[in-house]
Structure 1
C-alpha cells in the first residue's frame, strides 16, 4: 500500500451516493440490453438469471464481485498518441496525462484464491478526461471469448454448476455443451497450452469485443484493443506456481511499482473484410494492422478493501464521444449483469452482510 493512500472510509457512507450512480448506470444498461433482445420477457434472459447461475457454481462471498472477486486497485495515467487521435476524437487521445483508476484481478469468484493458480488475469480501467467524460474498460488475458452469445455463456455456466452428489460439475453436461459450441473447445485448448506469465505487469490484456472509433471528420473504424506490456514476458512454470505465496501477484506488482512505473502500450487491431465484428469468440488473424494509440502508466497500488476501485463498476459500455459499441450482444449482457452484480454487493455491504477476507490485496 502506498504511503499516501487515503484512510479507510466507512462502507455505509460510501454506498449511499454510489447507489444513485448504480441506478443511473443500471437503467442505461437495461435499456441497451432490451434493445439487443436478450432480456425483458419470459423467453428472454435476465441479468438476475445470470448472477444467480454464477452464484450457483461456487461458495457465496457476500460483498465481493461475483466474478474476478480477488484483486487490487491501481492508479496512474494514460497518454494518447497522434495515431490514436487520428482514429478517434475521444479526448483521451489528445489530452496530456489522463488520470487512470484501475483494478488488477484474477479469474474466479473466490476472494481467498491463490494468485498464482489463476489461469485468467484481468485489467479494468477508468479513464477520466478533462472534458468530464469517462471511458471504462474490462480486459482479460485470454485472446478471445469462449462462446459467441449471451445464451451460450449461460449454458456454459449452468454446465459448471456442481452436482450435489459429487460436489463437481457433471462431465456429461459439459460434454453436451462442448459438442454444441466448438468455440469453447478452442478456448479450452488455449487454457491448456498457453504459457503462464509470471506477473500482472508482463501480461497482455485484451478487450475481446469490437468497438467503433469515430474521428473528427466523422469517419468510423472498427477496432479491437489490447494492452501490451512493456515488461518482457517471463513464463511461470507449474512448480513455481505451486510454491508461490497466496498473494503472489499483488506482492510482485507492489515490488515493481516501488522501483518505478509499470507500462503497457494500448494497441488497436484493424479488421479486414470477412473478420467477425460482432462475435468475440472469433479472433482476428494476428497479421492484421496494429496501431499504437497510447501508453498506460501505473504508478501506485492499494488493497481493494478501501481502495478507490472497490465500489466502481467497470461497465464496458461507459464510453466517451469518439468510441461506440459494436452490435456484439455479449457487450449488452455484460453491461446489465455488471450493474446487477454491483447492486447486489453494495446492498450486502450496506446491510452488514458482507464478509471479510484476510491477507494482502484480498479484502474486498
Structure 2
C-alpha cells in the first residue's frame, strides 16, 4: 500500500539535512547550486505512437533545464553526480517536469522508510563530523540494491561536461497513446556529443563554476543536444520500485531531441521558485500508483520549497492582510 504524497514529508527533508550536516538557508534541500538553460524539445514520430502527451506530438515545445549538483550545500562542488531537471511548457499553458540524475543505475531506496534509514546511516557523528562506517555498512548489508547503487557512484569518473553525460530519471512511467494502448518505460537522456569522463582529482582542481562555464562556452558555439530514449519494460520488470535495476538489454526507443540554447534566469522565466515535481505529468503519461518514492518526493519537495522561500507567510503583503484566527478556548 502506498502511504501517499505527504507521508513523513517533513521527516524526509529533515533526514536529508542531517545527512548533509546542516541546513543551508534559502537553498534547496538537495541540488542547491545550479543554473538554468532555455531550449526546445522536439518529439519523434515514435513518441506519438507511444503517447498522446502534448509534447510527444512532434511540434517543438519550449523547455528549461536546471543543471545542478546533488548536494544541499551550495559550496560543495559537483564531481561525478549531477542532475538535470527539465520543464516542458505545453501549448495549453500547463507544464510537465522530468527530473534526471547521472551515475545512479537506480535509486537507493524503495520506500520512504528505507530512505529515512539511509539518511540515518549517513548522518555524521556530531562529535567528529564524520560518518560511522559501521552504520553505513549495516544499512548496505540489509539493502543490496542500495549497495549496488553506492558502488556505481564510487566507480563513476568525474564529468568532463554537463553536455557529455547520461541522465536517468529512475522512475518508470506509463505511456498511453491516442488509442488507449499503454506501455511502461523508463526515460534516459543521452548526449549527442557522446559520454566522456575524467579523474575525480582533475575536476576537483577546477573552479566551483567550471562545469557551467564549460557548458556556456559550448552554447556560444551552438546548441547542446540530448536524445530522449524510452527503455521499454518487459514482463517481470518492476515498475513501482525505483531501486530495482532493469537489465541493460531492454529495447530503447528514441522519442525526442532536446536542444539547450542559452542560459536563462528565474526572473526571465517569471518563476522565482522553479520547483520541479516528478509527479507533474500530463495526459498520456502516468506514474505508478504503487511507487512510494515518487509519491513521497512531491511532499518532500513542497516542504523544501516552503523552507527555502519562507512559505506562504513571506508572500508580499498576503499574510499581513489575512484575517486573524481567533484563539479557541476550551471550557472545562
C-alpha separation between the residues in 2 aligned to 1:250 and 1:112? 14
Unaligned runs of 5+ in 2: 316-332
Instruction: Give 1:199's aligned residue.
Output: 161
Report the CA distance between 1:307 and its aligned residue.
6.7
Aligned length: 312
User: Aligned partners of 1:328 and 1:269: how far apart in 2?
Assistant: 18
Aligned to 2:218: 256
Q: Please tell me whether the aligned partners of residues 306 and 312 of structure 2 are also in contact (alpha carbons under 8 angstroms).
A: no
Once residues 271 and 64 of structure 2 are traced to their aligned partners in structure 1, the CA distance between those partners, rounded to angstroms, is 7
Preserved contact between residue 97 and residue 281 of structure 2 (Cα < 8 Å): yes
Contact 1:63 1:349 in 2 (8 A): no
Residue equivalent to 1:288: 250
Q: Is the Cα contact below 8 Å between 2:5 and 2:297 reproduced in 1?
A: no
> 1:306–1:313: structure 2 CA closer, same or farther, 3 Å change rule?
same
Aligned to 2:303: 340
Give me the whole-angstrom Cα distance separating, in 2, the residues matched to 1:322 and 1:39: 21
- 3-state SS, counterpart of residue 112 of structure 1: coil
1:65 aligns to what?
28
Q: CA shift at 1:38, angstroms?
A: 5.1
Q: Which residue of 2 aligns with 1:360?
A: none
The one of 119, 126, 133 equivalent to 2:87 is 126
Matched, 1:146 2:112: no
Report the CA distance between 1:230 and its aligned residue.
Answer: 0.3
8 Å Cα contact 2:277-2:298 kept in structure 1:
yes
Structure 1 Cα separation of the partners of residues 234 and 29 of structure 2: 36
Displacement after TM superposition at 1:282 (Å): 1.2
Equivalent-residue separation in structure 2 for 1:209 and 1:113 (angstroms): 26
Cα–Cα, structure 1 residues 144 and 174, in superposed 2: closer, same or farther, change >3 Å? same
Partner of 1:37: 3
Aligned partner of 2:322 in structure 1 is none
Answer with 1 or 2: which has the greater Rg.
2
Unaligned runs of 5+ in 1: 1-34, 353-364
Distance change >3 Å, CA 306–CA 179, structure 1 → 2: farther
CA distance in 2, matches of 1:204, 1:309: 27
Q: Are 1:73 and 1:310, in contact at CA under 8 Å, matched by a contact in 2?
A: no
Superposed, 1:1-364 pairs within 5 Å as: 36-37=2-3, 45-57=7-19, 58-115=21-78, 118-141=79-102, 142-302=104-264, 310-326=272-288, 327-347=290-310
Q: CA deviation at 1:283?
A: 1.6
Deviations 1:309-344 (A, max 9, x none): 651110111111000001211000111111111122
Alpha-carbon distance in structure 2 between the residues aligned to 1:60 and 1:177 = 24
**Whole-Å separation in 2 of the counterparts to 1:147 and 1:53:** 14
- Supply the distance in 1 between the matched residues of 2:219 and 2:270 (Cα, whole angstroms): 18
TM-score, normalization by structure 2: 0.88
Structure 2: distance between partners of 1:302 and 1:237? 30
Report the Cα distance in structure 2 between the residues aligned to 1:185 and 1:281, rounded to whole angstroms.
10
Aligned to 2:318: none
Residue 47 of structure 2 aligns to a residue whose secondary structure is helix
Q: How big is the shift at 1:130?
A: 0.9
CA distance in 1 between counterparts of 2:112 and 2:22 reads 23
**Distance in 1 of aligned mates of 2:130 and 2:267:** 31
Q: Distance in 2 between matches of 1:332 and 1:346?
A: 22
Q: Distance in 2 between matches of 1:259 and 1:212?
A: 37
CA distance in 1, matches of 2:106, 2:232: 16
